[in-house]
Structure 1
Amino acid sequence: MSEFPDDPQAIDLMIAFPFKKADVYAFLREQANDAESKAGAGDLAMPAGYMFNDVGDDADPDEDVIETCIAAMDAVGVAAGLFNLNDQSIEAARRHPGRVHFSLEIDPNDVMGAVRQIREAHAEHGIKAVTTFPAGCQPQVPISDAKYYPVYATCVDLDIPICPTVGVPGPRVPMACQTVDHVDRVCFDFPDLKIVMRHGCEPDEELAVKLMLKWPGLHYMTSAFAPKYYPKAIVDFANTRGTDKVMYAGYYPMGLSLDRIFEQLPDVPFREKVWAPFLRDNAKRVFDL
């Protein structure tokens, strides 16, 4: 294990402003089939809240959540983040130039609507990525399904990455649509597509590593994992042949505080050569930041 840098200058590839969880996650409660998730009480206002020690409080109605988030970033050394495109993030980018980059979340069930949204967001706001949650789409859409193919083609055309959630979802919805094996077919059909898998790829991290070795455009972000739980296969890969493939992403304020993440990061057994690519350089290159 090497020493964690004093000035991380990290780029966080999954970050948001504090919000009211019951409102944001209402769509997932509607999809749930168990009474506890449907009720959404307590930590399950965030449907994967049972997985986290403390999902954190909702934003105060009078709180300036933009400044709350920027202050949290400053406190730990996060230089910039990738935020979902909306009015709030647009205002944050105006106030804090260079610190707020945009991604766009899509549901491919409206195939051409999603394509138009991507093209308009790229033209008007310079989005740096498209994100998607296959198990959270209504109805679910497998990663390798034809509905996604126009989205992938658009990302190739605009030279921006697609960031799908891959692996067992935290919310209590079926997983088959986003297992790691789907990614292999997409990489074959779109060799120029940049894919950054998010949310762990569990329980098939070793398969994810094999696929990253196989496909040049395939990458991994550490979103939704406290650093002490980073999969061993991913840490080993970053330390060896995957130094340019693995990149940092947090989960603030959805399930992890930035304080907790950066308290634990120094204990991750990365080699010295890994820290700069992991914290920022890979993100700069892949997302053109």
Structure 2
Amino acid sequence: MHTHAEVSNSGSGSLSRELEEASSTYFKVDGAHRKPTLDEIGAYYRGLKMAAVVFTVDAEAATGVPAVPNEEIAEAARRYPDAIIPFASIDPAKGRAGARRVRELVERHGVRGFKFHPNVQAFYPNDRAAYPLYAAIEECGAIAVFHTGQTGIGAGAPGGGGIRLKYSNPMYVDDVAADFPGMPIILAHPSFPWQDEALAVATHKPQVHIDLSGWSPKYFPPQLVQYANTLLKDKVLFGTDYPLLTPERWLADFAKLPIKDEVRPKILKGNAARLLGL
């Protein structure tokens, strides 16, 4: 449920060189594997007999760098319908123009959801300026994914590359969930240092889910494992953050967690299939 398109057909990426290098160092990813093309992503996941939600991050207003075009991801999904599920990203700074883009991407390009990265996009999720976007997403029956918790983007760069962690507390998404009850929401990642807040929001708001991307499962907080096994067993989703983590590594580490036999297939497939209506 969490895979990044890091490079466009023209060869450009969605982050500055400084932020790319910092995240590669943080995740210990060598340059040769940092920026697979969309065709490489499709072929890779097809080879694994696995489907992946793929998206970019549009943070042009804050970074000055254009995102990988959402249309390219949708086109790749048409080439690899068994392997790529297209999501998109629209900078909240685009306001009502962004809301119009939501409808276009869903209706004309088959996009299933939208990714927000409050740290990189430099906004609080409950900022009313973003509400026209959410209203359009809810109206179109799409899903909203919010990065939560610490980010590897900018980690280790001077001043964290200017990235501020304050925006990614999942409690800000609680307001969004309350105001848009018809919009399915995914809290991306173990939300360090706000894991308990994420668990509280997901147990309280029926439409809020948690994906497990961005961390090796061996580092999951114990309360996340406990809730995944019990209260949130129908709302926790497999995700990697590829290319920063590979499915092979994630699955090998997940196999060592004390997850109940009846819960494991829910996390790995069933919950996502139901959420996406597959």
Q: State the TM-score, normalizing by the size of structure 2.
A: 0.82
Q: Structure 1, residues 49-108: CA drift from partner, whole Å, max 9, x if none? A: 343233552579xx9x45543443255442x11112645434433333332211011111
Q: Which residue of 1 aligns with 2:204?
A: 214
Q: Structure 1, residues 129-157: CA drift from partner, whole Å, max 9, x if none? A: 111111111xx110110012111111211
Judging changes above 3 Å, is the alpha-carbon distance between structure 1 residues 19 and 202 closer, same or farther for their aligned structure 2 residues? same
- Superposed CA RMSD in Å reads 2.5
Q: Which residue of 1 aligns with 2:3?
A: 15
Q: State the secondary structure of the residue aligned to 1:82.
A: strand
1:53 aligned onto 2:41: no
Q: Which residue of 2 aligns with 1:280?
A: 269
Distance 1:53 1:122 in 2: 35
Judging changes above 3 Å, is the alpha-carbon distance between structure 1 residues 117 and 243 closer, same or farther for their aligned structure 2 residues? same
1:246 shift after superposition: 0.6
Question: Superposition pairs for residues 121-270 of structure 1, below 5 Å?
Answer: 121-137=105-121, 140-170=122-152, 171=154, 172=160, 173-253=163-243, 255-270=244-259
1:119 shift after superposition: 0.5
Judging changes above 3 Å, is the alpha-carbon distance between structure 1 residues 233 and 189 closer, same or farther for their aligned structure 2 residues? same
User: In structure 1, what residue type is equivalent to 2:23?
Assistant: A
1:190 shift after superposition: 2.0
Distance 1:251 1:192 in 2: 26
Equivalent of 1:81, from 43, 52, 75? 52
Distance 1:47 1:26 in 2: 11
Preserved contact between residue 150 and residue 193 of structure 2 (Cα < 8 Å): yes
Higher relative contact order (CA closer than 8 Å, sequence separation 6+):
1
Distance 2:85 2:45 in 1: 14
1:235 shift after superposition: 1.3
Distance 2:265 2:13 in 1: 33
Distance 2:85 2:171 in 1: 30
Q: Which residue of 2 aligns with 1:9?
A: none
Q: Which residue of 2 aligns with 1:103?
A: 87
Preserved contact between residue 105 and residue 111 of structure 2 (Cα < 8 Å): yes
Preserved contact between residue 183 and residue 207 of structure 2 (Cα < 8 Å): yes
1:212 shift after superposition: 1.3
Distance 2:170 2:222 in 1: 17
Distance 2:118 2:34 in 1: 27
1:16 shift after superposition: 4.0
Structure showing greater Rg: 1
Judging changes above 3 Å, is the alpha-carbon distance between structure 1 residues 121 and 67 closer, same or farther for their aligned structure 2 residues? closer
Mark the runs of 5 or more structure 1 residues left unpaired by the alignment.
1-12, 30-39
1:198 shift after superposition: 0.7
User: In structure 1, what residue type is equivalent to 2:251?
Assistant: F
Q: Which residue of 2 aligns with 1:3?
A: none
Q: State the secondary structure of the residue aligned to 1:193.
A: coil
Q: Structure 1, residues 178-215: CA drift from partner, whole Å, max 9, x if none? A: 21221222222222221101132111111211121111
Preserved contact between residue 70 and residue 89 of structure 2 (Cα < 8 Å): no
Distance 1:215 1:81 in 2: 25
Distance 1:164 1:177 in 2: 11
User: In structure 1, what residue type is equivalent to 2:205?
Assistant: W
Aligned residue-pair number: 255
Q: State the TM-score, normalizing by the size of structure 1.
A: 0.79
Distance 2:128 2:5 in 1: 33
User: In structure 1, what residue type is equivalent to 2:105?
Assistant: A
Mark the runs of 5 or more structure 2 residues left unpaired by the alignment.
56-68, 155-159
